[in-house]
Amino acid sequence: MSTAAEHRPAEAAPILRVEGLSARIAGQQVVEDVSFTVPATGITALLGRNGVGKTSTIKAIIGLIDRTGVVELAGERIEKEATFKIIQRGVGYVPEDREVFSGLTVAENLRLAERDASPRRQLVEELFPDLLARAGQMAGTLSGGQQQMVSLARALLNTNKILLVDEPTKGLAPKIVGEVADTLAEAAKTVPILLVEQNLHVVRQLAEGAVVLSGGRVVHTGRALDFLDDAGLIHRHLGVSTDAASHGDPVEKGAAL
Ligand SMILES: Nc1ncnc2c1ncn2[C@@H]1O[C@H](COP(=O)(O)OP(=O)(O)OP(=O)(O)O)[C@@H](O)[C@H]1O
């Protein structure tokens, strides 16, 4: 008789597996024995208060900071590889603070990001009609939300196995936060996403799974909604009240570890 495991669909295998990941910056342990998996579909949120190591975890995954531990992409070990090779394997990275080339036009920013022989220009044009209209505008003169769209579009031009997206709604007006969230929801239909996000309303809208960090360590993993609906967990790990969480207020800034 066959087992349930044999009947598990192929997509049940995680696209990313991190095991015992540790990293230090300037002598400080910023990521400590972190283990989690990211499913091959949908959005998984990486949560935690300010300074708990979310960005460092993402940077450690792609080798931007020295680390120890196992990183597996689609079942293959990648932790010994250089960052550019990890990116070439299909890890798209959308860094915090957008990092567009401000002295280049929108079109030039996008062209520079094209890695594949057949970049997915049509998808990007469908998802970002506003960018098409602004193709000749200097990226440095775009609003924060528009720059975020450029940053997301650059990652989506290539066929990736996973996107690592760091705080895409940070500093944006509420209406623009909604637009970025809607775009992420569309993007997630084409690629799984590990999303660092402080706005719990956005997490509630988008994320299926949640990995919660505190002090560089994983303190909770599970379904995002289960976490968001648990007042005790929210208070303990994010330092906000359930009221604030259910109304989508961002995680309290500057909260102590
Ligand atoms: N270049 C650096 N030099 C020294 N310390 C750093 C550096 N980068 C990060 N750190 C420290 O590492 C710890 C984790 O930072 P990290 O940016 O990963 O946290 P985070 O959870 O992403 O925070 P935030 O939500 O505020 O972006 C913090 O204590 C931070 O001060």
DSSP letters of 62-81?
TTSS-EEEEEEETTEE-TTS
Q: Inter-axis angle of helices 144-156 and 174-187, to 10 degrees?
A: 10
The dihedrals phi and psi of 209, each to the nearest 5 degrees, come to -115, 160
Tell me the ipTM for this assembly. 0.94
Q: Which atom of ligand 1 is nearest to the CA of 52?
A: 21
Q: For residue 183, what are its two tokens? A: 């775009």
Residue 46: per-residue pLDDT: 98
Domains of the chain: 11-246 (3.40.50.300)
Q: What is the pLDDT along the chain (257 residues), one digit of tens a residue?
A: 444 444 544 447 999 999 999 999 998 999 999 999 999 999 999 999 999 999 999 999 999 999 999 999 999 999 999 999 999 999 999 998 778 999 999 999 999 999 888 999 999 999 898 899 999 999 999 999 899 999 999 999 999 999 999 999 998 888 899 999 999 999 999 999 999 999 999 999 999 999 999 999 999 999 999 999 999 999 999 988 765 444 444 444 333 22
Residue 201 near residue 240 (C-beta atoms within 8 A):
no
Nearest to 168 by CA among 156, 178, 157: 178
Pocket test for ligand 1, best of 22, 49, 52, 197 (most atoms within 8 A of CB): 52
CB-based pocket (< 6 A), ligand 1 = 25-26, 28, 30, 48, 50-56
Q: Which atom of ligand 1 is nearest to the CA of 57?
A: 18
Q: Which atom of ligand 1 is nearest to the CA of 251?
A: 25
Report the distance separating Cα 41 and Cα 25, nearest Å: 32
Single-letter code of the amino acid located at 34: V
Residue 207: per-residue pLDDT: 98
Ligand 1 center–CA 11 separation, angstroms:
33
Nearest to 152 by CA among 201, 111, 98: 98
Q: For residue 82, what are its two tokens? A: 């250089």
Ligand 1 center–CA 213 separation, angstroms:
13
Q: How many CB atoms lie within 10 A of CB 220?
A: 17
Summarize the chain as % helix, strand, coil (round to 5): 35, 25, 35
> Which element (helix H / strand E) includes 187?
helix 174-187
Which residue is listed with tokens 């098409």?
132
Residue identifier of the C-alpha nearest atom 16 of ligand 1: 53
How remote is the C-alpha of 165 from its chain's centroid? 3
Sign of CA dihedral 158, 164, 165, 166: negative
Residue identifier of the C-alpha nearest atom 6 of ligand 1: 25
